[in-house]
Amino acid sequence: MVKALDMYNNWLEYVALLFMILAFFTMQMNWLLTGSKVMVYLTIFLAGMIVGRIFYKIKDGKTRFRWSVISLAFLIGFIIAPHYGSRLMLIIIYALGAYASYYIHEKGYLKTVSY
């Protein structure tokens, strides 16, 4: 049996790769449709805000590590192909979005409801 293609044990790598590809295509479509540096920065900020909410909801350390790997792969997918803006600014804006969302949820300014 081939162990490298074992989806049950290696799901994290496959999901991270999927998110990296998704971010890459999001960046390409953003460039193709808008061609605006502002939209690139807004997209990365909103992606960071989603990550901040996920980290707020997750309390388990093992699960938080898995989501860290997935979010890092997503960030790498964004950084691979920027046509506008600097890669350092993308990282900073992504981190600021994640921190802002985590802070907003932690202070109770924004309540989330789980169904």
Q: Each residue of 25-84: pLDDT tens digit?
A: 888 888 788 878 888 888 889 999 999 998 898 887 788 888 888 899 989 888 887 777
How many CA atoms lie less than 13 Å away from 19 in the CB half-sphere?
A: 19
* pLDDT at residue 37, rounded to an integer: 83
Helix ranges (DSSP H) in the chain: 11-33, 37-57, 61-80, 87-107
Contact 35, 85 (CB under 8 A): no
Nearest to 44 by CA among 80, 84, 95, 105: 95
Is 60 exceeded by the pLDDT of residue 93? yes
Running DSSP on this structure, what letter comes out for residue 4?
A: T
* pLDDT at residue 43, rounded to an integer: 87
pTM, 2 dp:
0.80
* Rounded distance between C-alpha atoms, residue 39 and residue 21, angstroms: 19
Is 60 exceeded by the pLDDT of residue 1? no
